[in-house]
Amino acid sequence: MGLTSKIVASGPGWMVRDSVCTAGPGDRPFEEVHDTVCIAAVVEGTFQYRTSNGRALLAPGGVILGNTGACFECGHEHTAGDRCLAFHFSPDRLETVLAEAPGVRRADFAIPSLPPLPALMPLLAAAEAARDEGDGAQLEELSLRVAGAVAATLSDSAKRPRSPTPRDARRVSDALRRIEAAAHEPLALTDLAHETATSPYHFLRTFRQVVGMTPHQFVLHTRLTRAAVRLRATDDPVSAIAFDAGFGDLSTFNRRFRRLMGCSPGAYRDGRQRAA
C-alpha cells in the first residue's frame, strides 16, 4: 500500500494535507487513528471508509469526518487509488468555529461522512486551486470556511447515508469511476445502468441512496467542480473551459454554474484576482 501525504499549509491549531493513496484491491486495509479532528474532501477516486460511526462509499466531492482519537480503515476493494485534501484541526481550534455556527450542540461528528453537496462545491474547488498555487494564506481562510460549512450542514440534521451492500458498493463504485473518467462525455442513465448489469430504476435508486445525489447531479457536480478549479488556476477563456468540461453551450454552463456556485463564472474568477 502506498500513501504519500504532504503538508501544503499549516498554522496554530490547523493544517492542510494533500494525500495520495495508490492502494488497490490486492492491498489489505489496516487500522489507522485520526490524530486530530479531520475534514477531508475526496478529490479523485473512490474507496470505502469505515469507522465506529458507520461506513460509507466515498467519491469525489464527498467529505470524510473524523474525530480525534477515532480508529478508521480505508479500503480499495473495487479499484485502485484516491486523492484527498484533508483539513486538520485541534479540538480547541474547531470549537471556536463551531461556537459561531447556529444550532451546533456537539463538537464531535456523529456520522462518518457527507455526500457531495452543492453548498461545499465553491469552497472545495477554491481549496484545490489554492493547493496547486501553494497559497497558504488562502488555505487558512478556506479551512475555517470549510469547517463552518460542514458544521452548518450538520446542524441541519444531515441524514446518514445508507450503508451499501458489497454488491451495491461495487456497482456504484464502478459507475463513479466511469463518470470520473468521462464526465465531459454524454453519459446516459441507461448506459450507466447497463454497464453495472442493473435496470435503470434500480441503478438510479441505489446510486442516489449510496452517493446522496442522482447520477446526473453527480455528473454536473464533477463538471462544475473541474471548471471552477480551472477558472481559479488559469486564464483560459470561459467558453473553452465550459466546452472542455462537457457543456454543449456557454449559456447552459453559465446558468448551471451560477445556480450551484452562487455567482457567474466571471465573478468567481474575479474573486481569485481580488484575493491575489
Residue 276 has pLDDT above 50, yes or no: no
CATH number of 166-275: 1.10.10.60
Which residues face 10 on adjacent strands? 15
Q: Which of 89, 103, 202 is nearest to 144 (CA)?
A: 89
* pLDDT, position 156: 63
Mean pLDDT of the chain: 86
Q: Where do the H-state alpha helices sit in the chain?
A: 91-98, 121-133, 136-155, 166-182, 189-195, 200-211, 215-233, 238-245, 250-261, 265-275
Return the CATH architecture of domain 3-155: Sandwich (2.60)
Mean pLDDT, residues 104-119:
81
Query: How many Å apart are CA 37 and CA 196, to the nearest integer?
Result: 36
Percentage of residues in the chain having pLDDT higher than 90: 38
- CATH 1.10.10.60 residue ranges in the chain? 166-275
Separation of alpha carbons 227 and 245, rounded Å: 6
- DSSP symbols for 85-101: EEEEE-HHHHHHHHTTS
| CB-based contact 147:13 (threshold 8 Å) | no
Q: In which residue ranges of the chain is CATH 2.60.120.280 found?
A: 3-155
pLDDT digits (tens, 9 = 90+) for 84-94: 999 999 888 88
Q: What is the pLDDT of residue 102?
A: 62
Each residue's pLDDT tens digit, 27-70: 888 889 999 999 999 999 999 999 998 989 998 999 999 999 99
Pick from 42-46, 72-76, 107-111: least confident:
107-111
CB–CB of 97/154 below 8 Å?
no
Phi, psi of 268 (to 5 degrees): -65, -45
pLDDT digits (tens, 9 = 90+) for 135-194: 887 888 788 888 888 888 887 654 555 567 888 888 899 999 999 999 999 888 888 988
